[in-house]
Structure 1
Amino acid sequence: MGKAMKKNTKMSYEIGELDQYLFGQGTHYEIYKKLGAHKAKKGKKEGIYFAVWAPHAQEVSVIGEFNQWDRTASPMKRHEPLGIYDCFVPEAKEGMLYKFCIRTQEGEYLYKADPFANYAEVRPGTASRIVDIEDLKWTDSKWMKDRETWDHNHEPVSIYEAHIGSWKRHPREEEDGFYTYREFAHEATAYIKEMGYTHIELMGIAEYPYDGSWGYQVTGYYAPTSRYGTPEDFAYMINYFHRNKIGVILDWVPAHFPKDAHGLANFDGAPLFEYADPKQGEHPDWGTKIFDYSKAEVKNFLIANALFWVEKFHVDGLRVDAVASMLYLDYGKEDGQWIANKYGGNQNLEAIEFFKHLNSVVLGRNQGTMMIAEESTAWPKVTAEPEYDGLGFSLKWNMGWMHDFTEYMKLDPYFRKGCHNQMTFAMSYAYSEKYVLVLSHDEVVHLKCSMINKMPGLGFDKFANLKAGYAFMMGHSGKKLLFMGQDFAQLREWSEERELDWYLLAEEEHRQMQAFTRDLLHLYKKNKALYECDVMPEGFEWINADDRERSIFSFIRHSKDDKKNLLFVCNFTPVARPDYRVGVSRRKQLRLVLNSDEKQYGGTGAERPVIYKPKKQECDGRPYSIGYDLPPYGVAVFEF
């Protein structure tokens, strides 16, 4: 009885026995409400409650602006069995900087940022900052309600991948010139709506120290980066996107973390978040630490973090970075640098189990959200359900398609006939997973050239090639992703150090490229045939996949009811094909809905009919056909 009474007098903000039990089991999905720094009241005193997991530490104290960074001023109490330390500091106030001072078993002192902090000082500073995110303002209830019944399998998903710090910048030389979350929300929304994208994917949101890592080496998993404003500003941005019917996807990095002294590496003087053995716990190529997926608390840290972004900040999906590096124990390693699993194989069994747990919980608790895998190998069942031995992701980036597509597009048109199958091969495995076709930031950095400069030829040829490529991509099965700047043919490679070359839009050919991409995106969004049956073979039909001599591809996209279908014809050579014949199965008239030869797209503007009536003339194994004057690099899309 006495024990029960004692338990009831425990303040609600404090770590309790149940919290420790659930965290130790890896199932405390809201552990971020307990660990970290939170506003609290002890008796009549208001202050901040601090808690941190540091089982290897001899002692821990919290230091900050509230105690002149004195490591003896605010000692923390240890709680067993997990080694969580906590304390209440009445002098601590919102906005103040703090760190945890950890005395290791060897007697050294480490000064660590809070792993659960919701805000950090702007780099190069490394301290955490106290902030209250309990009462964020949301007015996106309609979006959130509609999301519960939204199904990505049968809805349009066209993603604008963006990096806030280099999208646009203010011309302020004495500062970074970054747009704030609020400024970016307004300007990016206007652009996305005009262009016709359905989602924005944001690179590098969780706090990170080094700009050149683009946000893929995280030190603050629970803090939106302070480069662009406060957590409240970040919530405003998400809310604004939702009010304008734009979904938000964040890049999320559970694969590895950097070795920065204030971060997670050797957090309490010993490997805690990472595997202890360097053969398991380090990426030799990246110079980073690998999370220890065998530890329940580490898995809990990551799964709760995914839920934090989705549930606390209303994010609609997470694009999980570097999945392959987690699945393979020998990823990026030479013989002797890695340890096999208990069966002697190179699969990380603990990471596999982590993914199944992660995706089951995030998607199970949040209907209508997406978990997207950036997985670059042929690992099976990435998007299959965990009960069928799948990893449980909603979608997978189609890196195979991306590689084949870019290699084909780089070729001189004369040689494309020899590599014709690079454009058709992806359809042979299109239904083995649920795919996103991606032309991401990775394809336009590190001397890979921008998309326009991958194209062969000069001037008109480059732009016409890219238009044909984008049309093929939009017609192909799979969701779509395009990195910022590529929709108006950015000439230079992307760099995080400068804004996009928006000045190019003063030139006609770049405006024409943008107009063509915009109209493709709107065509995609408003035609069910282009997304409704993405995951079903009946949604795609080749008309002619074998016209290699002329490097022309023709195919149909079908809607569920088969009432409004689209026929694509794409010419990948500079040779005009007058009266190019395309076979059709029915004698139904076709209407030309997109023609790359229009003046507004940089074409000749030659007049041509809008309506085409099939003749009884066999072609492509079909009883009827239409003839169309296909220009050099010409694209035509017909509705029937």
Structure 2
Amino acid sequence: MKLSAIDDYSTFLYHQGTNYSSYRLFGAHFTSYKRKSCVRFAVWAPHAQQVSVVGDFNNWDDRMDRMTASSYGNGIWVAYIEGLQEGDIYKYAITTSSGDVILKSDPYAFASELRPGTASKLTKLHYHWKDKNWQRDCQNYDSYKNPMLIYEMHLGSWRRNAAGDVLTYREIAQQVVAYVKDMNYTHIELMPLCEYPFDGSWGYQITGYFSVTSRYGNPEDFMYFVDVCHRNHIGVILDWVPGHYCRDAQGLRFFDGQPVYESENELLAENQEWDTMNFDYGRTEVQSFLISNALFWLTQFHLDGLRIDAVANMLYLDYGHGAGPWQSNAYGGRENLDAIDFLHKLNTAVFAAIPQTLMIAEESSAWPLVTKPVDVGGLGFNYKWNMGWMNDMLKYMSLDPIYRKENHNLVTFSLCYAFSENFILPLSHDEVVHGKRSLLNKMPGDYWQKFAGLRAFYAYWMAHPGKKLLFMGCDFGQFIEWNYNDSLDWHLLEYPMHHALHDYVRELNAYYLEHPELWQEDCEWSGFSWISCDDCNNSVIAFYRRGRENNLMTVVLCNFTPIVRHSYRVGVPEKGVYAEVFNSDAERFGGSDVCNTDAFVSEDIPMHGQNQSMVLTLPPLAVIYLKMQSEITDNGTEKI
């Protein structure tokens, strides 16, 4: 890696918040100084009286390797130390303004000690990438017009070895890729992998923003994981947490004895609900730190996107304060103006450097224009998780079908705003923990009805506008909630219904990939039309998805009750011959096999606002897809 010189220019950019490769300036880098091999250490500690580098190599004696305050920057400390090797551990011993000495991990370290150790580790980022073809193809990739089926993973609990130990990045790479390819996913989304001290935080409370967690190996091992994914045409997205950080003593909190990365105002600095610290987005050095970190993962690790966690915590000053006090902005509002400016700056910088990046906001409020460009007043992301759709649908699907007719709006309301943003429809880890139950166990009814309800939900979800995300284990019907400290229950695949559900998800994913009408126009009304959205008494909805070409169309009918709807007349958009091409109630998927085996010729009977209609059977707790096989014109039947 090419280092940045510690000079007027690089430090000026850092202090004004525009040094977007500050990891080349700070941290520990192997280099040469005065013609001697050494490691250059640099850290920003503006309130420190003195800083030293300590480690096993000097018996953790803060008198040995003292750093010098750089003449180029406010609070930048530098040292050149000879005789160090990769793998050596170190910390900064910082003498605070009050004279106390505190030990801190390096905010810019590229590797960290395995928990419960908290030291930083010397390393070089050296890996020979083999994903040139992927990188070339990505330059012309338009995610809006392509399918996106994201498999969300927690690496430590996807699968473990016979002894119950976690797999390394290298051990898991081939297994994950084989699985994801077999199941027809297009992307993997990894829960946070920046170094974190507590397993139970799942990686969302970080101490080492530039360190890939040592739980599963070293940085080169993770590069290998990404490389294997890319060589198999699988994109990799990483959960990234710039919204808050943990309070652990070795981390960023009170880094030099005083607030550095957090605000001096306690009400702004702390998220009381999560017992974490908020970044001070108005501090320019923090802007350089975070934007550099985003670009570090995207460039050095070839990641294809970042899913930004807890954006609402960044946007709202009262977030996480409950009924307690909070600090309003200069205009008396609850909006965090510094955070808004930071997000503008972040997304502008990322897209300027790597235009095809996926920048995905996990934003749970109704904040407008999240996925609109900064120059038209948006936050600048290109995707947002549709949390409203997720909450409504999980509430609806958890209801006993007898009560669904009174809650029909939970199914239909999402189309009132489906094209206001570029959405991803998430069925994530957050929905299968903390007593919420697994997706399968949310479904009401007996054993058969639970599987039928989940199959119907998945087929409806797949046809709804928006890209897709599914958490691991949900594709074979994990019955218990997700446990970060144990492997998924892969043995469930030995049971017929779970095996059938697994086959179902694979085939449903394949249908999605093979039918452009389900993803070409995800962000436009032109790709979706209601047929029937008001049949609440039968808990039935019907709509169709259309692609860019006129002959690309799938008609979708959903029956959210366990009652078979015989002789159900439904309108269709065009005159022609239709056939059922996918049925979630098929016997091979564990269903009751109520299928429409014959083709349907549409009739000149108006229905549901359409000039044509036909009569068919709706299977129980099921969704069917129809395709027009032939178009009927004045000259006769023409094959599509």
TM-score range (shorter-chain normalised) is over 0.9
- From 92, 117, 122, the counterpart of 1:125: 117
1:86 aligns with 2:82: no
1:509 aligns with 2:501: no
CA distance in 1, matches of 2:3, 2:403: 70
* Counterpart position of 2:637: none
CA distance in 2, matches of 1:241, 1:193: 10
CA distance in 2, matches of 1:517, 1:607: 19
The 8 Å contact of residues 114 and 214 in structure 2, kept in 1 or not, is answered as: yes
- From 83, 86, 105, the counterpart of 1:113: 105
Match of 2:355, SS? coil
The 8 Å contact of residues 13 and 40 in structure 1, kept in 2 or not, is answered as: no
**Map 1:419-438 → 2, pairs under 5 A:** 419-438=407-426
* Counterpart position of 1:6: none
Q: Once the 2 structures are TM-superposed, how far is the Cα of residue 296 of structure 1 from its aligned partner?
A: 0.4
The 3 A distance-change label for structure 1 pair 12 and 178 is closer
**Map 1:161-172 → 2, pairs under 5 A:** 161-172=152-163
The 8 Å contact of residues 426 and 469 in structure 2, kept in 1 or not, is answered as: yes
Letter of the 1:77 counterpart? T
* Counterpart position of 1:8: none
The 8 Å contact of residues 614 and 626 in structure 1, kept in 2 or not, is answered as: yes
1:311 aligns with 2:299: yes
Uncovered stretches (5+) of structure 1, i.e. residues with no partner: 1-10
Q: Once the 2 structures are TM-superposed, how far is the Cα of residue 334 of structure 1 from its aligned partner?
A: 4.5
The 8 Å contact of residues 468 and 570 in structure 1, kept in 2 or not, is answered as: yes
* Counterpart position of 1:198: 186
Q: Once the 2 structures are TM-superposed, how far is the Cα of residue 615 of structure 1 from its aligned partner?
A: 2.3
The C-alpha deviation readout for 1:163-220, integer Å capped at 9, x for no partner, is: 00000011225xxx11111122111111111111111100020000000000000000
Letter of the 2:549 counterpart? D
1:45 aligns with 2:36: yes
Letter of the 2:226 counterpart? I
Letter of the 2:367 counterpart? W
The 8 Å contact of residues 248 and 317 in structure 1, kept in 2 or not, is answered as: yes
Match of 2:174, SS? helix
The 8 Å contact of residues 459 and 584 in structure 2, kept in 1 or not, is answered as: no
Q: Once the 2 structures are TM-superposed, how far is the Cα of residue 12 of structure 1 from its aligned partner?
A: 6.4
- From 334, 352, 364, the counterpart of 2:340: 352
The C-alpha deviation readout for 1:537-584, integer Å capped at 9, x for no partner, is: 111001111111111111100001222111111110000012322211
Q: Once the 2 structures are TM-superposed, how far is the Cα of residue 14 of structure 1 from its aligned partner?
A: 4.2
Moved more, 185-194 or 227-236: 185-194
The 8 Å contact of residues 157 and 487 in structure 2, kept in 1 or not, is answered as: yes
* Counterpart position of 2:441: 453
Q: Once the 2 structures are TM-superposed, how far is the Cα of residue 71 of structure 1 from its aligned partner?
A: 1.0
TM-score by length of 2: 0.96
CA distance in 2, matches of 1:152, 1:279: 40
Q: Once the 2 structures are TM-superposed, how far is the Cα of residue 525 of structure 1 from its aligned partner?
A: 1.4
Letter of the 2:131 counterpart? D
Letter of the 1:495 counterpart? N
1:144 aligns with 2:116: no
CA distance in 2, matches of 1:460, 1:363: 47
The 8 Å contact of residues 149 and 367 in structure 1, kept in 2 or not, is answered as: no
- From 90, 95, 102, the counterpart of 1:98: 90
CA distance in 1, matches of 2:422, 2:59: 54
- From 237, 245, 262, the counterpart of 2:250: 262
* Counterpart position of 2:478: 490
The C-alpha deviation readout for 1:426-454, integer Å capped at 9, x for no partner, is: 00011111111111111000000000111
Q: Once the 2 structures are TM-superposed, how far is the Cα of residue 585 of structure 1 from its aligned partner?
A: 2.6
**Map 1:250-329 → 2, pairs under 5 A:** 250-329=238-317
Q: Once the 2 structures are TM-superposed, how far is the Cα of residue 636 of structure 1 from its aligned partner?
A: 0.9
The 8 Å contact of residues 203 and 251 in structure 1, kept in 2 or not, is answered as: yes
* Counterpart position of 1:573: 561
* Counterpart position of 2:67: 76
The 8 Å contact of residues 206 and 225 in structure 1, kept in 2 or not, is answered as: yes
1:158 aligns with 2:149: yes
* Counterpart position of 1:24: 15
The 8 Å contact of residues 47 and 93 in structure 1, kept in 2 or not, is answered as: no
Q: Once the 2 structures are TM-superposed, how far is the Cα of residue 598 of structure 1 from its aligned partner?
A: 1.9
The 3 A distance-change label for structure 1 pair 492 and 607 is closer
Q: Once the 2 structures are TM-superposed, how far is the Cα of residue 605 of structure 1 from its aligned partner?
A: 3.7
Uncovered stretches (5+) of structure 2, i.e. residues with no partner: 629-640
The 8 Å contact of residues 62 and 101 in structure 1, kept in 2 or not, is answered as: yes
The 8 Å contact of residues 569 and 615 in structure 2, kept in 1 or not, is answered as: yes
The 8 Å contact of residues 544 and 620 in structure 1, kept in 2 or not, is answered as: yes
The C-alpha deviation readout for 1:344-381, integer Å capped at 9, x for no partner, is: 11100000000000001111210211110000000111
The 3 A distance-change label for structure 1 pair 563 and 446 is same
The 3 A distance-change label for structure 1 pair 67 and 597 is same
Q: Once the 2 structures are TM-superposed, how far is the Cα of residue 42 of structure 1 from its aligned partner?
A: 2.0
CA distance in 2, matches of 1:451, 1:337: 37
CA distance in 2, matches of 1:522, 1:183: 27
- From 582, 586, 602, the counterpart of 2:590: 602
**Map 1:204-283 → 2, pairs under 5 A:** 204-283=192-271
CA distance in 1, matches of 2:506, 2:542: 22
* Counterpart position of 1:524: 512
The C-alpha deviation readout for 1:248-301, integer Å capped at 9, x for no partner, is: 100000011111010000000100000111101001111111100111000110
Letter of the 2:88 counterpart? M
Moved more, 330-339 or 350-359: 330-339
Letter of the 1:103 counterpart? T
**Map 1:382-397 → 2, pairs under 5 A:** 382-397=370-385
The 8 Å contact of residues 147 and 367 in structure 1, kept in 2 or not, is answered as: no
CA distance in 2, matches of 1:14, 1:337: 44
Match of 1:32, SS? helix
* Counterpart position of 1:7: none
Q: Once the 2 structures are TM-superposed, how far is the Cα of residue 606 of structure 1 from its aligned partner?
A: 5.4
User: What RMSD, in angstroms, separates the aligned Cα atoms of the two structures?
Assistant: 1.3
Match of 1:520, SS? helix
Letter of the 1:536 counterpart? E
* Counterpart position of 2:355: 367
The 3 A distance-change label for structure 1 pair 336 and 447 is closer
- From 172, 176, 192, the counterpart of 1:184: 172
The 3 A distance-change label for structure 1 pair 121 and 54 is same
The 3 A distance-change label for structure 1 pair 13 and 90 is farther
Match of 1:66, SS? helix
Letter of the 1:327 counterpart? L
Letter of the 1:338 counterpart? W
TM-score by length of 1: 0.96
Match of 2:469, SS? strand
* Counterpart position of 1:621: 609
Match of 2:558, SS? strand
CA distance in 2, matches of 1:606, 1:403: 30
Match of 2:58, SS? coil
Q: Once the 2 structures are TM-superposed, how far is the Cα of residue 13 of structure 1 from its aligned partner?
A: 5.4
Match of 2:444, SS? coil
The 3 A distance-change label for structure 1 pair 532 and 13 is closer
The 8 Å contact of residues 585 and 595 in structure 2, kept in 1 or not, is answered as: no
